[in-house]
Structures are given as C-alpha cells and as structure tokens.
Structure 1
Amino acid sequence: MPQDDYEYAEWRQAKPGIDYHVAVDKRFYSVPHALVGKPLELRITAATVEVMHKGKRVASHPRHGSGRFSTLTAHMPKSHRAHREWSPGRFLNWAADIGPCTAQVVKQQLENRPHPEHGYRACLGLLNLAKRYDRTRLEAACERTLMIRSARYHSIASILKQGLDQLPPGEEVDTQEELPLHGNVRGADYYH
C-alpha cells in the first residue's frame, strides 16, 4: 500500500503574461520571468498550484493565501530586463496623454498592489479599451469611476459598454423607461 493518501489533481494549460503570472480561479501565481509567453502545464490540487515546463516543475505555490497575487521574489527579473519596455513610467505617461482621470486610475492600479507589475494586466486592459473606444470616452469613464470610488478595469469597461460615460457626471440611466408595459408592473404611483 502507498504511504501517502491519494491526492486529486486537475491539470490545465496556461501562458504567463508580461507580468510573469498565470491565472487560476481569479488568483495569480508567479513563474520564472524567462517563461513569459511559453506554454506551461498547471497541476492544481486543493492545497497547491504547481507549474510545469516540459515536464519539469518550475514553481509551486500554496493555492489559497492572502491577496490575489502569489509572487516569489526569485521569479522577478533583475530590473525587469525581460520586458523593460513595460514599466510603471510608460503606463503613467500613456495615461497622462489621455487625461488626468485616466492617469489617476493607472496610478492607483500601480500603487495599490505589493509590486507595480501586479497592476500591468489592468493597465494593459485600459490600453485595449483606448483602442476600442474614443480617448475622450475613456477619460470620461475614468472620471466616473473615480467619483464612485471604483477605479477598476471591470467598472470602466462596464461604463463604456453601457454608454454611461456619455451622460453628464452624476446623471444615471432612468431604468423606469426600460420596463415593459405589463399589468403586473405597478409603477411609482402605486405606492403613493
């Protein structure tokens, strides 16, 4: 009989982004920066996330920990040579070209994490939104997210998708008009 109990494991494929992290269930685990963009295999158990490259284990992290990122210092490049073109300064300069609200959102993304690199994904997401939507719309969406204190990529994307950035600040969509006319819909007058 084996000495250890059987441990169920799930296997997945992944490619680390420029921030040298792979995503598993909305958490991010670091890998050696030399593996950025390379196909990796993940072995996921109830307690650990193991990262394999060509059958060899290159990283192991506890699966559940504090925060959304699990980063090993050994995985970080010296001066981030592997992707030196992506730096906090570059993101901040890009955002400042769009407007002060976009710059503030990017600054928060980079400063509110243990390492600025953890904010790169959100900043790249904003960069993609700037390609899909007009720069003026992105700035207006960032202004709105700062007003509601939810300066996150998902909030900004939602505001742009729903067109809320095109409304004057403080004005919200009137959902009453969107309700269908139906006998079971009472309306505001019913409650007076």
Structure 2
Amino acid sequence: MHGTTCARPAELFTAEEQPTLLPVPGVYDVPVFKRVKVHRDFHAEVAKALYSLPECWIGQYLDVRADTELVKFYRRGVLVKVHPRQPAGGRSTDPADLPEHKTGYALRDVTTLIATCTAHGPNIGIYAERILDDRLPWTKMRTVYRLLGLVRRYGARRVEQACSLSLDLDVVSVTKIASMLERATETSTRRCRRRSATPRPDSPATRRIQLHPNTIDHRHRGEPLT
C-alpha cells in the first residue's frame, strides 16, 4: 500500500495509467546513404542489386537513400527515381528508362561483347550468347564482363573447358563457372603440394632410406662397402 495514494501501485497502474499508454513503436528502419554512378547499361548498383535510371543520368553520380522498402535516387537534393528495394543479386528495371531508339546502339555493344568472348574460345562465345539471350540483352552485359574477368584470372583455356562442360549440362550461370574454376584451382594446388612433399626416387633422402643396414654399419666401422 502506497503511503501517499493509499493504493496499491500495481492496481493503480492497471486501472488508470496503462489505458493511456501509446503502443510501443516499431524498430527504426535505418536507411543506407551512398553515392553511385549510373553505367552504360542504364543501371546503378546499390547493396549488390541493380536499379535502372533514365538515359540522361548515364555517367553521372547520384545520391541514394535506401531503406528496407524503397531505393530513392537524388541529384543535388532533387528526387529523380524511386525503385522497390531488391535483395542482393536482384534487379529492378523500369522499361521506360530504356528508350527504343537506343536499342540499336545497345545491340551493337552486345555484338562486340560476344565477338570479344568468341576470340577467347568458341564455347566462351556461345556462353556469352546464352547469357545475353534476353528481351533486354544490355541489362546482362555486366554478367558477360564478369565472365571475361574469369578469363583474365584463370586463362582462356580453363574457362573454355568450364563453359563447354556447363553448356553440356545446360547450366548458364557465371557464378557456377567461377565455382568450378575455383575448385579446380584448389585441387591442383593440393596435388602440387603432395608432389613437392614426396621425395624423388633419386634424391639423397630416398637413397639414405634405401641403404641396407649392413652398409650403414660398414660405414660406421670404416670398412669398405661390399
């Protein structure tokens, strides 16, 4: 019993104070702020996802505010584009951002890209064609650039073999190609380490191991070898 109010605090709270309390607010959605560049494929990258923007912004840097629901692009404080937030690896493309009169130029870039891949190997070229076989092929150009990055890293011969195997399995994924090459590199490294750790048959270490015990005894006694 409270000495001043002459009431039990718990009962007083339940009867008078609790009904006036407001609901507990939800968790604050902390936004992400960054500055991004709009690339030639009409897209900018935010948190590993791609978002399209009108042609006029290609080559320009825009400010971004991204929360769990929306991604907003600003130019000097003026809102120029809004997209729904996409997960990592996702893409949000507004067809209005890709004008029809630019299709010819974009397809010309795509053709050049396929030719570049084919120069490294026929299967690499076919793989690039499969990647770009899309209604909006220029939106897949970054994936082909990643494939070319694998050529620079692992060499054309190994990427050609990986693309050939992947095409046989009808799997078109540069991520899978990268995984295949990485596993092959790890396996090759382990084999090299095992070879280097095994003494050669004609090495001094191997000859010492193969010496007969009697021979070693004769050497210690200074007697001639038999």
TM range (shorter): 0.5 to 0.7
Query: What SS class does the counterpart of residue 144 from structure 1 fall into?
Result: helix
Corresponding position of 1:116:
137
Higher relative contact order (CA 8 A, sep 6+): 1
Corresponding position of 2:53:
31
Which amino acid is the alignment partner of residue 27 of structure 1?
A
Which amino acid is the alignment partner of residue 44 of structure 2?
V
User: Structure 2 regions of 5+ residues with no counterpart?
Assistant: 1-27, 195-226
What pairs with 1:44-83 in structure 2 (closer than 5 Å)?
A: 44-64=66-86, 68-80=90-102
Greater mean deviation of Cα atoms: 113-122 or 154-163: 154-163
Q: Given the two structures, how large is their TM-score scaled by the length of structure 2?
A: 0.59
Cα distance in 1, alignment partners of residues 101 and 113 from structure 2: 16
Which amino acid is the alignment partner of residue 138 of structure 1?
V
| Structure 2 residue corresponding to 1:90, chosen from 112, 133, 144 | 112
Confirm or deny: 8 A CA contact 1:69 1:118 kept in the other structure. no
Query: What SS class does the counterpart of residue 87 from structure 1 fall into?
Result: helix
Give how far 1:86 is off: 6.0
Deviations 1:70-127 (A, max 9, x none): 212332245438x75962211222222233321221112111x441012100111122
Q: Given the two structures, how large is their TM-score scaled by the length of structure 1?
A: 0.68
Cα distance in 1, alignment partners of residues 101 and 163 from structure 2: 30
Query: What SS class does the counterpart of residue 58 from structure 1 fall into?
Result: strand
What pairs with 1:1-192 in structure 2 (closer than 5 Å)?
A: 8-64=30-86, 68-80=90-102, 87-111=109-133, 113-163=134-184
Which amino acid is the alignment partner of residue 15 of structure 1?
K
Give how far 1:64 is off: 4.8
Kindly name which structure, 1 or 2, has the bigger radius of gyration based on alpha carbons.
2
Query: What SS class does the counterpart of residue 92 from structure 1 fall into?
Result: helix
Cα distance in 1, alignment partners of residues 168 and 174 from structure 2: 15
TM-align CA RMSD: 3.4
Deviations 1:108-154 (A, max 9, x none): 2111x441012100111122222333222221121122234432222
Report the CA distance shift for 1:79/1:95 in structure 2 as closer, same or farther (over 3 A).
Answer: farther
- More helix by percentage: 2
Which amino acid is the alignment partner of residue 162 of structure 1?
R
Give how far 1:7 is off: 6.7
Which amino acid is the alignment partner of residue 79 of structure 2?
R
Which amino acid is the alignment partner of residue 146 of structure 1?
L
Cα distance in 2, alignment partners of residues 58 and 114 from structure 1: 25
Confirm or deny: 8 A CA contact 1:122 1:153 kept in the other structure. yes
Cα distance in 2, alignment partners of residues 79 and 130 from structure 1: 33
Cα distance in 1, alignment partners of residues 107 and 39 from structure 2: 14
User: Structure 1 regions of 5+ residues with no counterpart?
Assistant: 1-5, 168-172, 178-192
Greater mean deviation of Cα atoms: 118-127 or 16-25: 16-25
Cα distance in 2, alignment partners of residues 15 and 150 from structure 1: 31
Report the CA distance shift for 1:17/1:163 in structure 2 as closer, same or farther (over 3 A).
Answer: farther
Q: What percent identity do the matched residue pairs reach?
A: 26
